[in-house]
Amino acid sequence: MTAHSFERNASLRSWLLVEAPQSGFQAWMQSFYLAWLRLAANPLAVIGVVVLLGIGLVALMAPWIATHSPFDQVLADRLQRPSAAHWLGTDELGRDVFSRIVYGARTTLYIVGLVAVIVGPIGLCIGATAGYLGGWVEAVLMRITDIFLSFPSLILALAFVSALGPSLDNAIIAIALSSWPGIARLARAETLTIRSSDYVDAVRVMGASTPRIIFKHVMPMCLPSVVVRVTLSMASVALTAAGLGFLGLGAQPPTPEWGAMLSTARQYLLEHWYLAAMPGLAILTVSLAFNLFGDGLRDMLNPRS
């Protein structure tokens, strides 16, 4: 490393750590940097981040990493053991298992990502509205939340999928419908503490409308804890998605999906156990990584524990 780049690094560091940030952007970057420093102190969380980034990379680069097409059936080569040509063997239709697992990362991340994008804003809106308005709006919204919470998420998702019909998109809708309540609860709790703070009173006195206060002044404050909560629930979303796939109610064939792969591998379990072993390991890796990362995030925001 040259002296020049070292100096630039040092100035970037001081820009990130200076006591009084000059702009909103700098303040944002500072809080990210400090958060990263605290996260980096937790080796398990770093492992989680690295694994997640790796899986994201695999999903992104799937066509270059996979050795075969995930859909090409070569019936002559069906149920082969792992070999140089097929690293993890072939399935009952002669498709390359390694390639299907690689493409399966896309399916899983697609589900997890889409659920996060749906669930976060819905939970945030409902929770912040309920918490800020109070009264009967809060009573009704929170009662609905409690009713959804009184189901285990997999069973509620199962019921929704069976009513909507099995498909990948319906599975995503079902998982989203069953996992927003936890986030709404959290957002409401956060809002209750924000609602009575001075700056909210100040904005109200200045004549801001209720929606403006909720969207511009309350929700941004709830965002960090909601993000953590969404990350933590991604592990269980990945597991639920795989469970739905395993039951035949998630991604439909021929889409490569780890849970569905496991379910077909079940029929050949005794002779070809590795067919079932690999997709399961992939699910375990993703969900473990989300758990490690989420735990790290939580510890970071809650230094007491």
When the beta carbons of 230 and 265 are compared against other proteins, the nearer one is 265
Q: Write the DSSP string, the chain.
A: --HHHHHHHHHHHHHHH-SS-SSHHHHHHHHHHHHHHHHHT-HHHHHHHHHHHHHHHHHHTHHHH-SS-SS---GGGTTPPS-SSSTT-B-TTS-BHHHHHHHHHHHHHHHHHHHHHHHHHHHHHHHHHHHHH-HHHHHHHHHHHHHHHTS-HHHHHHHHHHHH-S-HHHHHHHHHHHHHHHHHHHHHHHHHHHHTSHHHHHHHHTT--HHHIIIIIIHHHHHHHHHHHHHHHHHHHHHHHHHHHHTTSSSPTTS--HHHHHHHHGGGTTT-HHHHHHHHHHHHHHHHHHHHHHHHHHHHH-TT-
Task: Count residues binding other proteins (CB under 8 A).
Answer: 47
Output the smallest distance, CB 17 to other proteins, in A. 30
Q: Is 249 in the site for other proteins (CB under 8 A)?
A: yes
When the beta carbons of 125 and 247 are compared against other proteins, the nearer one is 247
Output the smallest distance, CB 273 to other proteins, in A. 5
Q: Are 251 and 107 in contact (CB under 8 A)?
A: yes
Q: Which stretch binds other proteins (CB under 8 A): 111-119, 123-131, 197-205, 240-248?
A: 240-248
Q: Is 46 in the site for other proteins (CB under 8 A)?
A: no
Q: Is 239 in the site for other proteins (CB under 8 A)?
A: yes
Q: Which stretch binds other proteins (CB under 8 A): 34-42, 110-118, 196-204, 274-282?
A: 274-282
Among 3, 76, 84, 270, indicate the residue that binds other proteins (CB under 8 A). 270
Q: Is 276 in the site for other proteins (CB under 8 A)?
A: yes
Among 183, 242, 260, 300, indicate the residue that binds other proteins (CB under 8 A). 242
When the beta carbons of 120 and 279 are compared against other proteins, the nearer one is 279
Q: Is 51 in the site for other proteins (CB under 8 A)?
A: no
Which of 201, 184, 192 has its CA nearest to residue 147?
Answer: 184
Among 116, 141, 176, 283, indicate the residue that binds other proteins (CB under 8 A). 283
Which of 237, 242, 281, 236 has its CA nearest to residue 113?
Answer: 237
When the beta carbons of 70 and 243 are compared against other proteins, the nearer one is 243
Among 47, 74, 288, 301, indicate the residue that binds other proteins (CB under 8 A). 288
Kindly identify the residues of this chain, within the stretch 148-187, that bind other proteins according to CB under 8 A: 148, 150-156, 158-164
Output the smallest distance, CB 242 to other proteins, in A. 5
Residue ranges in contact with other proteins by CB under 8 A:
143-144, 146-148, 150-156, 158-164, 235, 239, 242-243, 246-249, 259, 262, 265-266, 269-270, 273, 276-277, 279-280, 283-284, 287-288, 290-292, 295, 305
